[in-house]
Amino acid sequence: MSANGGTKAILAALGANAGIAVAKFVGFAFTGSSSMLAEAVHSVADTSNQGLLLLGQKTSRRTATKEHPFGFGRDRYFYSFIVALMLFTLGAAFAIYEGVHKIAEPEPLTTPVVAIVILLVAIGLESFSFYTAIGESRTLKGSASWWGFIRQSRTPELPVVLLEDAGALLGLVFALIGVGLSVLTGDPIWDGVGTLMIGALLGVIAIILIIEMKSLLIGEGATDAELETIVDELAAGKVERVIHIRTQYLGPDELLVAAKLALAPRLETDQIAKAIDDAEARVRAKVPAVRLIYLEPDLDREAVNPK
């Protein structure tokens, strides 16, 4: 699942958003609704975002080079970060601008029933996309909460798609409320209010994604559970203790482990080499994401010179 990065969810979102964007622009042309226009731009941004996520998956598979000896796995983090920025600038900023403009200069809606029908159809399509993303994420999520999954996942695409789809569904509801209240009250200012709500929602989601993707792009270590497993597997056999350890994800599927190990005293060179090889094998068997391991044997000076 991690290797695919939820490709099925990305493709489902791509297809749904492309179709929805066209429908929303048609709806805006008929109604003049700013909520509909904001949602149309939002769908265009989401469609572009899914394309960027697929591009990141493709470029991350490039073979390591002399200039980039650890490969290109972080491309997936980079493009996910760009997606978050686009969601903020193209989605949130435009919706807030359009909402303020519509409140300042309200214009009556024409044929609002068209907007309502399109929004209801869009809710159905977005629900399908959201359901697909949830299904793709369940295996990786495990027993964690959905918020915990978004915060802790080292695979960037699924949290991005989940939050985008959740935001799209809520945004459609806000647009429906704005158009509906404009029809019921006869006051088009509610359409602008709905647009502002969409902008605020997209802004919050974008900021969450920017924070999370920035953290991944800089470099995050193993999760607490993974680190505990790695240490337990290293400290076995002829390894007496893990003196210190550092980990970092080079990409969603590639974890680097560097550690200094205290080995049993008076081992021969071949025994030290075998102890190191066995430790690497144990770790890889329990944590498949560990691809690169650098282990340094050393004396347990704390045991030799206790304080």
Q: In this structure, are residues 94 and 41 in contact, taking their beta carbons and an 8 Å threshold?
A: yes
Q: Give exposure, 62-92, as e/b (b: 16+ Cβ within 10 Å).
A: eeeeeeeeebbbbbbbbbbbbbbebbbebbb
- Which residues are bridge partners to 239 per DSSP? 263
CA distance 193 to 199: 10
pLDDT in tens, 21-64: 888 888 888 888 777 787 788 788 888 888 888 998 899 989 98
What pLDDT shows up at residue 302?
66
Q: Is the pLDDT of residue 3 over 50?
A: no
What's the pLDDT at 303? Answer: 57
Q: Is the pLDDT score of 1 beyond 60?
A: no
Task: Give percent of the chain with pLDDT exceeding 70.
Answer: 96
Q: For the segment 248-268, what is each residue's pLDDT rounded down to a tens digit?
A: 999 888 999 999 999 988 888
pLDDT confidence of residue 242: 94
Give pTM, 2 decimals. Answer: 0.80
Q: Residue 111 to residues 29, 114, 180, 185, 213: CA-CA distances in angstroms?
A: 10, 6, 12, 15, 42
What's the pLDDT at 304? 52
**Interval 190-210 mean pLDDT:** 90
Whether 189 shows a pLDDT value over 80: the answer reads yes
pLDDT computed for residue 17 by the predictor: 81
From CA 299, how far away is CA 215, in angstroms rounded?
35
The per-residue pLDDT for range 58-87, each reduced to its tens digit, is 999 899 899 999 889 999 999 999 988 888
Q: How far, in Å, CA of 149 to CA of 128, rounded? A: 21
The highest-confidence range among 94-108, 147-161, 199-213, by mean pLDDT, is: 199-213
Round the average pLDDT of the chain to a whole number and report it. Answer: 86
Distance of CA 284 to the CA centre of its chain: 25
Q: Token digits for 119? A: 């929004």
Residue 290 has pLDDT above 80, yes or no: yes
Residue type, 15: G
Could you tell me what percent of the chain has a pLDDT over 90?
31
Cα distances (angstroms) measured from residue 71 to each of 61, 94, 184, 247, 294: 8, 37, 58, 16, 17
Residue 93 pLDDT level (bands cut at 50, 70, 90): confident
pLDDT band at 139 (very low <50, low <70, confident <90, very high): confident
Q: Is the pLDDT of residue 112 over 90?
A: no
Q: Sheet with 239-251: list strands edge to edge.
A: 239-251, 254-263, 290-298
* HEC letters along the chain: CCCCCCHHHHHHHHHHHHHHHHHHHHHHHHHCCHHHHHHHHHHHHHHHHHHHHHHHHHHCCCCCCCCCCCCCCCHHHHHHHHHHHHHHHHHHHHHHHHHHHHHHCCCCCCCHHHHHHHHHHHHHHHHHHHHHHHHHHHHHHCCCCHHHHHHHCCCCHHHHHHHHHHHHHHHHHHHHHHHHHHHHHCCCHHHHHHHHHHHHHHHHHHHHHHHHHHHHHHCCCCCHHHHHHHHHHHCCCCEEEEEEEEEEEEECCEEEEEEEEEECCCCCHHHHHHHHHHHHHHHHHHCCCEEEEEEEEECCHHHHCCC
Res 257: pLDDT: 96
